[in-house]
Amino acid sequence: MGMAQTARDLYDRVVELRRRFHMNPELAMEELQTAAHVTQVLRSEGMEVRTGVGKTGVVGLLRGRRPGPTVALRADMDALPMTEETGAPYASKVSERMHACGHDAHTANLLGVSMLLNQITKGGERLAGNIKFLFQPAEEGSGGARPMIEDGALTDPDVDAVFGLHVSSELPTGTIAVKEGVASASSDTAYIRIVGQGGHGAHPEKTVDSIVVASHFITALQTVVSREIKPNDAAVVSVGRIIGGYRSNIIAPRVELEATVRTLDPEVRASMRERIERILAGTTSAFRADYELDYAYGYPSQHNDEEMVKLVRAAARSVTSSDAETIPDPSMGAEDFGYFSSEVPGCFFALGVRNETEGLGVYPAHHPCFDIDERALYTGMQVMAQVALDYLERAFE
């Protein structure tokens, strides 16, 4: 039986899995039920399974009967802390928990891929090399890729290449799109405390007003991008959180700020802490205040390997009879798949889920009405499976 027919036979089960995950969302590093069900499906297919990888991650292994390289396929499992408003019959049953970024679809799709590959290779009998299935926790925020790597997800057997996908509400259902080279930004966070001297709002001369200092700092901070970074080197610095003050007639003794810092170039990234601290030190000194800075380095920039991109394009043509679209510009969003592709060559591509006629996939990710056209999973399963097979076959050319 061919891939298309096998995928068609698996489609209803994959949709059922997606809806099960969607109704039972779990936050980062809490994906216990999701991981348990993933484990159950993989073991029912006779695969080798490791659980608790990077705390709640799962690694399945389809081991080929003949020696060869190992390719890894990745999906993320966690949901977001928000309330769903889709009104769908399979809407979240958990208060303030929602799969609003498509990770339920990613997990169901990869389970579909594992079943598809297991069946068409006869449990690995027709396979030269190995295929790993990485079910990752905590993509949203804390980053589960790095703990999985530290826990051996890319070893025993050693992974030679890695692929992943993300659903996209910007592309028609079943469309594949990919960006060669730098595909997304690194994501770091600056935690800042400005320390002044509080007092009565009627006597500002006896205080150091931390809110005024913070206001000047936020304004000056924008010059990092507008006046210090070359116009063709993309960077974003956004202050997203401010905490300070008690009431109108009290001058706040301190203000806390949190800023996200996004860059595409590693050299620019390496310079950002110094640039921010220089402005922070100068501003606070000018107003007789002090400061504290904690700078946390987060996800690296995602880089798609040229040869891996070619494999994705070839798989898209094979499955859909159409060329994959080219994503013109890198995203300033961040994706911790970049940890995997920093270790081995990889490619992270997009799967369209937008069906305007039926009103599916028309809301962006992280929106309370986010949903997908599930028919995209039929294409997603096949493209990812074809990529894995093509990679292993290429080793014997």
Could you list the active site residues? Answer: 78, 139
HSE of 307, CA atoms in CB hemisphere, 13 A? 10
Query: Using CA atoms, how far apart are residues 376 and 176, in angstroms rounded to an integer?
Result: 10
Question: Which residues have C-beta within 8 Å of that of residue 371, sequence separation ≥ 6?
Answer: 86, 88, 360, 361, 363
User: What single string gives the DSSP state of each residue in 20-84?
Assistant: HHHHS---TT--HHHHHHHHHHHHHTT-EEEEEETTTEEEEEEE-SEEEEEEEEEEE---BSS--
Three-class DSSP category at 373: coil
Answer whether the bond into residue 157 is a cis peptide, omega within 30°: yes
Amino acid at 8: R
Q: Determine the distance from the C-alpha atom of residue 14 to the mean position of all C-alpha atoms in its chain, rounded to a whole number.
A: 21
For 27-45, letters b (16+ CB in 10 Å) and e give bbbbbeebbebbbebbeeb
Closest CA to 80 of 95, 94, 57, 100: 100
User: What single string gives the DSSP state of each residue in 292-309?
Assistant: EEEEE--PPPEEE-HHHH
Query: Using CA atoms, how far apart are residues 21 and 104, in angstroms rounded to an integer?
Result: 5
Q: What is the token pair recorded at 61?
A: 């292994």
Angle, CA 360 vertex, CA 356 and CA 365 arms, to 5°: 110
Amino acid at 230: K
CA dihedral sign of residues 181, 143, 269, 264 = positive
Question: Which residues have C-beta within 8 Å of that of residue 394, sequence separation ≥ 6?
Answer: 311
Closest CA to 134 of 395, 350, 343, 372: 343
Could you give the residue ranges of the DSSP H alpha helices within 185-330? 210-221, 223, 266-286, 306-320
